[in-house]
Amino acid sequence: MSETMTAETADHPGVRPAADEQDRASRKASSIEMQGLHKRFGRDTVALDGVDLDIRAGEFFTLLGPSGCGKTTLLRILAGLEEPDAGSLVVGGKNVTEVPPHRRSVNTVFQSYALFPHLSVRENLAFGLKMRGLPAAERNAKVDEIAEFIKLGDLVDRRVDQLSGGQRQRIALARALVCEPDVLLLDEPLSALDAGLRSQLQVELLRVQKRLGMTFVFVTHDQDEAMVMSDRIAVLNGGNIQQVGAPRDVYERPMNAFVARFMGHDNLYEISARQGDRLTTALGTLTAEDAGDGELLLIRPETLDLLPGEVAGDNHLTATVAERLYRGSHAEFRLEIGDTTLQATVNNRGRHLPEVGETVTVVVAPEDLVTLSE
């Protein structure tokens, strides 16, 4: 394995490697450039509609969107398993649009693991190396190193069908890494796992990526998973990229209603009138720090404060608690303001949480208001 394999893992997944380690790792990573990628299936199904996208070397990049949005087709084109009808694909400065899969320095981890159940862990890990003609001694050395790297060194001689789902997922990842590709593609590899194991492997996978400095392209429909793991996210819908940005930007500043709704935002209101930074909606008139020029107003539920009773003030709305869901660390409220509803999330800090039927004042911070287009 390369020297980056033996670098120290960061203390937690949000921390990047030290500068010298990252410099070494970046030399192994490849950037990806897509220009005008089109793909149609049959006469009526447009999977990709002119996708332009740049992925940086050493980035953990996520393609996020609902089923049928084009993210898996895009991943398959990167892997060489599908050919675009038009457009170009450049990996590491080399045009690979027409290069067959086996000649690309790209490996894929599939949702189904795609392991050989009748073979041992060692034989699964060595398969790609054997196909490349590496001598047995070198294959075994690389297998031992990657098995230790993913903390499964004591399982290399077991059959794959004797392992748990989490262990098999680690083996699938290790098999893809052992050949040291420039780019690793991951097609919803954690979706079949239970919630607890999935969270654990999210952290482990992110640590592996930061430790290696390799370019990862990850496909998922899970918004939380994308935000936890990604350096940047591309949100797709209908074969088009709706927004590209860091997780925080995509969540807090969605560019349009589709992205906002897909990221779980329900508090979207049509702006019926404007006067400078004063925006009129069905909730009432609110002052925004940056009014923008969009026709919809987004209010994130976690940005709201609830005060007991009626309290007058700018950006103060009187509401009635229609529903309360207590979730331990926080409570979720459905509030009624006239004929309009508003969702609020309040951290549980040992204070009084309003009951259903109570009158409260909703305090809306001007800096948290976001306008966007339909």
Name the residue ranges covered by the structural domains of the chain: 3-257, 268-372
Tokens 């031992």 correspond to 144
**Torsion angle of C-alpha atoms 11, 16, 21, 27, degrees rounded to 10:** 150
Task: Give the global pTM.
Answer: 0.84
Residue-wise pLDDT for 58-87, tens only, equals: 999 999 999 999 999 999 999 999 999 999
Q: 13: how many CB neighbours lie within 10 A of its CB?
A: 19
pLDDT score for 124? 85
Residue-wise pLDDT for 284-320, tens only, equals: 999 999 888 899 999 999 999 999 999 999 999 999 9
CA distance 4 to 305: 47
CA proximity to 324, closest of 363, 357, 361, 298: 357
For residue 105, pLDDT over 60 is answered with: yes
The CB-side HSE value for 210 (13 A sphere, CA atoms) comes to 21
Q: Which burial class, exposed, middle or buried, applies to 262 when counting CB atoms under 10 A from its CB (0-12, 13-18, 19+)?
A: buried
Residue type, 268: L
Query: Which residues lie across from 339 on neighbouring strands?
Result: none
For residue 326, pLDDT over 50 is answered with: yes
Query: Which residues lie across from 54 on neighbouring strands?
Result: 33
C-beta of residue 95 within 8 angstroms of C-beta of residue 88: yes
CA proximity to 166, closest of 134, 208, 125, 195: 195
CA distance 176 to 182: 11
pLDDT score for 28? 61
Could you give the strand order of the β-sheet that contains 278-281, starting from the edge strand earlier in sequence?
Answer: 273-275, 278-281, 284-287
More confident of the two residues 175 and 224: 224
Annotate 256-271 with three-state secondary structure.
Answer: EHHHHHHCCCCCEEEC
CA distance 136 to 233: 40
C-beta of residue 250 within 8 angstroms of C-beta of residue 298: no
In the chain, count H helices and then E strands: 9, 21
CA distance 313 to 203: 44
pLDDT score for 140? 85
C-beta of residue 158 within 8 angstroms of C-beta of residue 216: no
For residue 247, pLDDT over 90 is answered with: yes
The mean predicted confidence, pLDDT, of the chain is 87
CA distance 260 to 266: 8
CA distance 286 to 297: 10
Exposed e or buried b for every residue in 60-80, given b needs 16+ CB within 10 A? bbbbbbeeebbbbbbbbbbbb
Q: Which residues contact 323 (CB under 8 A, 6 or more apart)?
A: 333, 334, 356
Q: Does domain 3-257 have CATH number 3.40.50.300?
A: yes
Domain range 268-372, CATH architecture: Beta Barrel (2.40)
> Which helix (DSSP H) or strand (DSSP E) does residue 77 occupy?
helix 71-79
pLDDT score for 9? 34
For residue 179, pLDDT over 60 is answered with: yes
For residue 146, pLDDT over 60 is answered with: yes
